[in-house]
Amino acid sequence: MRVWHNRSLEHDLADVIFILCLRAVSFVKKLTTSIGLSVAVFQAL
């Protein structure tokens, strides 16, 4: 077992949270884009 320093552990946690936030943002962008396309298609019908 490696002994973790609080600083490195917090740094790793911050990196993980940052990556998750980026993925969440890109997912929301894709979701809103597909919803917008669906709304446009329904309005065109």
Query: Which pLDDT value is given to residue 32?
Result: 97
Query: Which pLDDT value is given to residue 1?
Result: 53
Q: Which residues of 7-43 are buried (b: 16+ CB within 10 A; e: fewer)?
A: eeeeeeeeeeeeeeeeeeeeeeeeeeeeeeeeeeeee
Say how far apart CA 13 and CA 5 lie, in whole Å. 12
Q: CA 43, 44, 45 angle in degrees (round to 5)?
A: 90
> What confidence tens digit (pLDDT) does each residue in 1-45 have?
566 566 687 889 999 999 999 999 999 999 999 999 999 999 998
Query: Which pLDDT value is given to residue 45?
Result: 84
Query: Which pLDDT value is given to residue 21?
Result: 97
